[in-house]
Amino acid sequence: MHIPDGFIDAPVAAGAAVVAAIGVGVCLRGARRTLDDRTAPLAGLVAVFVFAAQMINFPVGAGTSGHLVGAALAVILVGPYAGVLALTVVLAVQALIFADGGLTALGLNVLNLALIAGLVAWFVFRGVVRVAGTGKPGIVAGAWLAGLLSVGGAALGFVAEFALGGTAPVSLAAVGGAMVSVHVVIGAIEGVITALVVWSVATVRPDLVVGLRAPAVASSERQAVAA
């Protein structure tokens, strides 16, 4: 869902870049505060894995493909701050070195695919495990729904940006409807991959999944473990 240069006009792209920069700044501060010596390497790994996974487009029918966004996976595994930063690194590498996603559109892509997708995924996953518990049903349902809705959120982000600054005189309703319908399918698959990976890691080392930590006790637990 990487936006190329030219789809969205310069003022909206610039506005998105400002919002994205503020969001990334907040995440830098948050990550500095919350990362420790075991989450930092995992956050680096998440960036690498998401870059690799995004190269694998899978067919979704009607001559269309999709690929993992990875924002849900990232925020569930390493937390919202580090997860958003990992996605931002991936998007910057893709735009600068591979010309995948525009350069003037980089702010739009960071806003949609890192910030919006990451925040939606984090709150959905935390909400589901709070209600359904941190057993297998809660983790799988939460990760699947987080994957689905993160892609939906990013697609709606594009629709909003297109409404504000789309460069083509085409029907917004048609663009919105088409974006949502294709990304529901892609999001459902994103959810399956997210659930598989999160469940695999949670089965081996649940303590390494930041999304499963209770925020209030996380740090005292960590110290107890370290002691």
Partner 1 sequence: MKQSTTRAVAAVVIVGMVASVVLAGLVSFYASPQPDGLEAVAQDQGFADRARDSAATDSALAGYEVSGVSDERLSLGLAGVVGVGVTTLLGFGLFLVLTAGRARTPDPQA
How far the first Cα of the chain sits from its last, in Å, is: 45
Query: Is residue 111 a contact residue for partner 1 (CB under 8 A)?
Result: no
Apex 112 CA angle, 52 and 114, nearest 5: 50
- Between 1 and 117, CB nearer to partner 1: 1
SS3 state at 103: coil
Buried b (16+ CB within 10 A) or exposed e, 120-132: bbbebbbebbeee
Contact (Cβ atoms closer than 8 angstroms) between residue 122 and residue 83:
yes
Binding residue for partner 1 (CB under 8 A) from 7, 138, 192, 199? 7
Query: Is residue 139 a contact residue for partner 1 (CB under 8 A)?
Result: no
Query: Is residue 206 a contact residue for partner 1 (CB under 8 A)?
Result: no
Query: Is residue 216 a contact residue for partner 1 (CB under 8 A)?
Result: no
- Between 84 and 128, CB nearer to partner 1: 84
Q: How far is the CB of 31 from partner 1 (least distance, A)?
A: 5
Query: Which secondary-structure segment (H or E) carries 35?
Result: none
Query: Is residue 144 a contact residue for partner 1 (CB under 8 A)?
Result: no
- Between 83 and 142, CB nearer to partner 1: 83
Query: Is residue 203 a contact residue for partner 1 (CB under 8 A)?
Result: no
Query: Is residue 42 a contact residue for partner 1 (CB under 8 A)?
Result: yes
Separation CA 137–CA 133 (nearest Å): 8
- Between 1 and 76, CB nearer to partner 1: 1
Q: How far is the CB of 112 from partner 1 (least distance, A)?
A: 10
Contact letters (x/-) for partner 1, 163-202, by CB under 8 A? ---xxx-xx--xx--xx--xx--x--------------x-
Binding residue for partner 1 (CB under 8 A) from 12, 13, 16, 35? 35
- Between 46 and 145, CB nearer to partner 1: 46
Separation CA 4–CA 16 (nearest Å): 14
96: which 2 tokens?
């600068």
Q: From the CB of residue 25, how many other CB atoms can be counted at a distance below 10 Å?
A: 10
Separation CA 79–CA 126 (nearest Å): 11
Query: Is residue 148 a contact residue for partner 1 (CB under 8 A)?
Result: no
Half-sphere exposure in the Cβ direction for 108 (13 Å, CA): 30
Residues 48-107 that bind partner 1 (CB under 8 A): 48-49, 51-53, 55-60, 62-67, 82, 85-86, 89-90, 92-105
CB neighbour class for 92 (10 Å; exposed up to 12, middle 13-18, buried from 19): middle
Query: Is residue 205 a contact residue for partner 1 (CB under 8 A)?
Result: yes
